[in-house]
A and B are shown apart, each in its own frame.
Chain A
Amino acid sequence: MIELRDLSVGYHAQAVLEHVDLDFPQGSVTVLLGPNGCGKSTLLKTALGLLPPVSGEVLYDGRPLSALAGSEVARKAAYMAQNHAIPSITAKRMVLHGRFPYLSFPRRYRKEDYEAVRRALESAGGLELMERPMQELSGGQRQKVYLAMALAQETQTIFMDEPTTWLDMRHQLEVMRTARALAEAGKAVGLVSHDLCLAMRTAHRVAVLSNGRVRLVAAPDEVFESGALDEAFGVLVRRVDTDGGWQYFCE
């Protein structure tokens, strides 16, 4: 499990988010929710070791992140970035990059790597995209490939940074359903979102971030009842009871 202990994060020793205590348990989608610029993505990058912490520490299964090699971290936590480069390669080759942390001498991918690629594409719902060039894929299809790349890392934890940006409604819902399914299959999912309504429907746990602090970490209905969202976003959050559970909306 990945744990953040009294962690302050930011750029050039300037903290944007301070004294964060948070963990990402397996079997849960933990959503980091907050307005633009509150430090959600910075927190995620620090948890992955892509940025140095301003203070505090990140623990991977009880061991400090600073003591782990890059490839060791990559075998424990996968990262779906918000923006991706699109090289002119096939989807299969793209997903194969997810096996990079397992690459050893003589620097060639093995049969089990190709099997992992197939499994990952299958669980991301993109098996039919396997041989298609990345540049010919739509935004939604590409997102499936990026997800498959993260899944191919076969990690306990997956971090997703704004995975629904650029997607239409149908694909947004699909991504969120996949996040939930991954958690239900036993993975820890950490997800950054500024889309309040979508995040509240997806999360098992919500961490509300605003004004440089984590305001609250709780289940969605508890968060709703606390009024922390109204304060953080400066809107009035309401909900209606539907067949599939609570649906949230803003006014």
Chain B
Amino acid sequence: MAGRENRKKRIPLRLLAAGGLALLAAVISLCTGAVMVAPGELVQALLGQGGGTTGGSIVLLVRLPRTLGCLLAGAALAASGAIIQTVMANPLAAPNIIGVNSGAGFFVALCSASLPAALSVKLSPLAAFLGAFACVMLVLLIAEKAGSSRIVLVLAGVAISNMFGAGTDAVVTLSPDALVGYSDFRIGGLSNVTMEQVAPAMWVIVLCLAGALLFSNELDVLTLGSDTARSLGLPVGRMRVLALAFAAALAGAAVSFSGLLGFVGLIVPHIIRRLIGSESRNLILGCALGGAALLTVCDVAARLLFAPYELPVGIVLSFAGGPFFLWLLIRKRGRHL
């Protein structure tokens, strides 16, 4: 009985721990870098009492957008991955499987090729979001016409991603200037992120997270399989499309300022599912907190490991997250993915 009580308390405790970790990572991210900022100075700067000190300016102009960007991108990509894996009932699914990366990539390449450099840098976050969202909506539209089954969704995603991928290659080949903008986006990273880029994405992410949490019971019913879900009165096809629209907007908003950081969306949901189970409300919340913590920690590491040189955060993420994920697989072998 005591074991069961512990099990009941374990989930809120682990969620709290993930939240604490994200907060700690954010504070470290705000304080550390080429110039160290003392916690007291950090608080003063955040309260608007920095008084123009160097540390205060660095925190407000550079580290705050970057840290906020890390938290938001990590939360959005991980939650998006969790939703997509739940809806597709496919542990290999991630935002790229429904066309987020290819759509965003194509629009960024198009933007870089057709606009003057100064303007295209400004507009590429918007282009990335629109591209990701448009591509996913196209996948969903076609899948809905063909019946919204899980396999149709995956195949439609693969086919349309391929077409957009070919489109990107064509643009980059015909207009080599586009390559610069596109490769920055492709590598991904948050070193030059500004508040103007993060702020609009933040609203999309917060609203979509709230929406996904509101529909968490529907997502849970969806995991029971099509027939059982429909026998419980859930309009399965429509719910799949709605959930994937949330996932697309989340991932699209994240890639609009962070570039492609696909790995977060794949591994964080797996880690969180193993720690707190697959109940959607906990899973989405856990992924948002865990993803925010992981990306922020990796970004701090990317800044510090080879200072004064910076590694792109995607590289750190793969080197740190990959082995941890593999360790988790081996440690709990035989358990349900």
Contacts and interface: CB of A to CB of B under 8 A. Distances in A.
B214 interface: yes
A71 B231 CA distance: 8
B232 A86 contact: no
Given A88-B336, A89-B278, A131-B7, A50 B232 contact: no
B106 to A, nearest CB: 35
Interface in B215-231: 215, 217, 220-221, 223-225, 227-228, 230-231
Contacts of B8: 131
A72 B273 CA distance: 33
Contacts, number: 77
Range, interface on chain A: 20 to 34
B233 A100 contact: yes
Range, interface on chain B: 20 to 34
Nearest to A82: B227
B234 A70 contact: yes
A45 B232 contact: no
B177 interface: no
Nearest to B282: A89
Given A100-B217, A133-B277, A85 B232 contact: no
Contact of A50 (B217, B223, B227, B277): B227
Contacts of B273: 88
B233 A87 contact: no
A69 B233 contact: yes
B83 to A, nearest CB: 15
A131 B273 CA distance: 18
A107 B234 CA distance: 13
B169 interface: no
A74 B233 contact: yes
Contact of B231 (A81, A93, A107, A131): A81
Contact of A103 (B217, B278, B336): B217
B230 A70 contact: yes
Interface in A32-88: 45, 48-50, 69-75, 77-79, 81, 83-88
Give the one of B8, B233, B279 with max A CB within 10 A: B233
B235 A87 contact: no
B230 to A, nearest CB: 5
B223 A85 contact: yes
Interface string B197-229: 000000000000000001101001101110110
Contact of A101 (B215, B228, B233): B233
B158 interface: no
Contact of A79 (B214, B217, B228, B335): B228
B331 interface: no
A85 B225 contact: yes
Given A45-B227, A74-B233, A84-B228, A89 B221 contact: no
B221 A97 contact: yes
A72 B7 CA distance: 36
A163 B163 CA distance: 46
B290 to A, nearest CB: 16
Contacts of B217: 100, 103, 107, 109
B233 A88 contact: no
Contacts of A109: 217
A13 to B, nearest CB: 15
Interface string B222-252: 0111011011111100000000000000000
A73 B227 contact: no
Contacts of A77: 231
B231 A79 contact: yes
B332 to A, nearest CB: 11
Contacts of A83: 225
29 contacts: A70-B230, A70-B233, A71-B233, A73-B231, A73-B233, A74-B232, A79-B227, A79-B231, A81-B225, A81-B227, A83-B225, A85-B223, A85-B224, A85-B225, A87-B278, A87-B279, A88-B273, A88-B336, A89-B277, A97-B221, A97-B224, A97-B232, A100-B217, A101-B232, A107-B214, A107-B215, A109-B217, A135-B335, A135-B336
Which 7 residue pairs of A and B lie closest in terms of their CB atoms, listed nearest first? A71-B233, A74-B233, A79-B231, A70-B233, A101-B233, A100-B232, A131-B4
Given A74-B232, A87-B220, A100-B232, 15 more contacts: A45-B227, A48-B231, A50-B230, A70-B233, A70-B235, A71-B233, A81-B225, A81-B228, A81-B231, A86-B336, A88-B277, A89-B278, A97-B232, A100-B233, A131-B8
